[in-house]
């Protein structure tokens, strides 16, 4: 393995690791590859020692016959949703270059959208696979929490984070999951799923775009409410702040090495109290019960992936423009349910999408419904 400088800002390192004729894969640079430093998108780790062994997911990819062609760029420390990276450069959204690529798995989404790879493997702590997937017009999947081993992932400890794939179509998501997790077996639907549509508020262009397949197929799913959704969003924000601070707060003691946005967020994260964490854990229990209760009557919960079209690069410099962009994604990191995003377009050709959430442990079913839903569109 001879790592080289990549020609694309989506990849921080070009590799040729694994089976010469296997599916090509990019791996987010917070996942260990033996012999390479794990940079986490940060100058703070520019001189990090090479990893001694592969992350568990990297071993699975290689054992399944994949070819790893690069480590993917990312929002620094996986702690941001824009994809901005002052240290390594911000990957350019291939289809909408004026819009953010999303984050934190920005390089993964861009590499897939640019067709540099067949699929990419990212991490999702608060929407970090699913949000950039929609920003770049591809599919992204967050498995059930705990299904995929996080050994060799950074940060080491997380109650929210899941390793998951991004791909250009639903079938490749399933193939990626088979490579990531040998126990995953793609299935075919025997009948149409019972869909429950979350009652939500979102921008009119998104509303119009997401209504198209239902109008075209004269299909009207029942509406449901999740009363603790907003609290779950806030709880997810508190927990990711606490856990990221515990992992990386020591970097604040260094005068350089962190981007301004990350330094500000880590500094703010220090204020999260034990009482905040206790409240968030109470919300986790309550919200998880609400979601589980829906599945006694329905097979899948359907939500918008994003409440709005992704902001422009310029607008995203204002934190108020991106604060709520993961409103419908982050709560399901808190609850741990599997969730797949399916890309769509507004009438002006801008990226939006659907999110399909299923019962815990039924990852194969969620992916099968995603394939069915994409075909219906």
The CATH number of domain 11-180, selected from 3.40.220.10, 3.40.120.10, 3.90.1170.50, 3.90.1300.10? 3.90.1300.10
Closest to 311 (Cα-Cα) out of 301, 299, 325: 325
Quote the percentage of the chain above a pLDDT of 90: 88
Q: Look up the pTM and report it.
A: 0.96
Same fold, 11-180 and 195-376: yes
Residue 204, pLDDT > 90, answer no
Boundaries of every domain in the chain: 11-180, 195-376
Q: Compute the distance between CA of residue 252 and CA of residue 359 in angstroms, rounded to an integer.
A: 39
Residue 377, pLDDT > 90, answer no
Average the pLDDT over each of 147-161, 175-189, 198-212, 294-308 and give the range with the smallest value.
198-212
Catalytic residue selected from 64, 128, 158, 228: 128
Q: Compute the distance between CA of residue 268 and CA of residue 216 in angstroms, rounded to an integer.
A: 47
pLDDT digits (tens, 9 = 90+) for 93-141: 999 999 999 999 999 999 999 999 999 999 999 999 999 999 999 999 9
User: CB within 8 A of 325, min separation 6: which ones?
Assistant: 81, 127, 131, 306, 307, 308, 310, 311
Closest to 179 (Cα-Cα) out of 70, 353, 19: 19
pLDDT at 255: 75
pLDDT at 215: 76
Catalytic residue selected from 6, 8, 64, 104: 104
Q: Compute the distance between CA of residue 327 and CA of residue 3 in angstroms, rounded to an integer.
A: 38
Catalytic residue selected from 8, 28, 106, 158: 28
pLDDT at 264: 94
pLDDT at 157: 94
Q: Compute the distance between CA of residue 348 and CA of residue 95 in angstroms, rounded to an integer.
A: 13
Per the annotation, the verdict on 71 as an active-site residue is no
pLDDT digits (tens, 9 = 90+) for 261-286: 999 999 999 999 999 999 999 999 99
pLDDT digits (tens, 9 = 90+) for 7-61: 688 999 999 999 999 999 999 999 999 999 999 999 999 999 999 999 999 999 9
- Fold for 195-376, please state it: Amidase signature (AS) enzymes (3.90.1300)
Across residues 373-377, what is the average pLDDT? 87
Per the annotation, the verdict on 104 as an active-site residue is yes
pLDDT at 201: 78
pLDDT digits (tens, 9 = 90+) for 65-75: 999 999 999 99
CB 40 within 8 A of CB 251: no
Q: Which tokens is 38 given?
A: 């794990």
Residue 4, pLDDT > 60, answer no
Per the annotation, the verdict on 42 as an active-site residue is no
Q: Compute the distance between CA of residue 43 and CA of residue 219 in angstroms, rounded to an integer.
A: 50
């Amino acid at each position: 393995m001879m790592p080289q400088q990549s020609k694309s800002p989506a990849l921080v390192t070009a590799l040729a690791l694994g089976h010469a004729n296997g599916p090509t894969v990019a791996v987010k640079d917070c996942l260990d590859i033996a012999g390479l430093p794990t940079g986490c998108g940060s100058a703070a780790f520019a001189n990090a020692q090479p990893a001694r062994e592969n992350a568990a997911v990297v071993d699975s990819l290689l054992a399944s016959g994949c070819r790893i062609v690069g480590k993917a760029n990312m929002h620094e420390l996986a702690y941001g949703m824009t994809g901005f990276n002052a240290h390594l450069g911000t990957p350019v959204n291939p289809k909408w270059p004026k819009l953010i690529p999303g984050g934190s798995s920005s390089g993964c989404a861009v590499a897939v959208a640019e067709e540099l790879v067949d699929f990419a493997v990212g991490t999702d702590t608060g929407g970090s696979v699913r949000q950039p997937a929609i920003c770049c017009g591809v599919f992204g999947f967050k498995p059930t929490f705990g299904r995929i081993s996080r050994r060799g992932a950074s940060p080491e400890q997380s109650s929210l984070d899941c390793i998951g794939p991004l791909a250009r179509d639903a079938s490749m998501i399933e193939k990626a999951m088979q490579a990531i997790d040998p126990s995953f077996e793609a299935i075919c639907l025997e009948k149409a799923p019972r869909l429950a549509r979350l009652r939500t508020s979102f921008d009119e262009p998104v509303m119009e775009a997401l209504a198209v397949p239902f109008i075209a197929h004269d299909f009207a799913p029942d509406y449901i409410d999740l009363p603790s959704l907003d609290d779950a969003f806030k709880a997810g924000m508190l927990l990711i702040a606490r856990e990221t601070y515990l992992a990386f707060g020591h970097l604040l003691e260094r005068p350089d090495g962190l981007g301004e946005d990350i330094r500000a967020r880590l500094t703010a994260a220090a204020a999260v109290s034990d009482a905040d964490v206790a409240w968030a854990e109470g919300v986790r229990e309550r919200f998880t019960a609400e979601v589980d209760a829906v599945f006694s009557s329905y097979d899948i919960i359907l939500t918008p992936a994003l409440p709005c079209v992704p902001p422009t690069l310029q607008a995203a410099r204002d934190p108020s423009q991106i604060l709520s962009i993961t409103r419908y994604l982050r709560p399901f990191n808190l609850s741990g349910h599997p969730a797949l995003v399916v890309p769509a377009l507004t009438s002006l050709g801008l990226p939006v999408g659907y999110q399909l959430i299923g019962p815990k442990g039924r990852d194969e079913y969620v992916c099968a419904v995603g394939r069915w839903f994409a075909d219906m569109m």
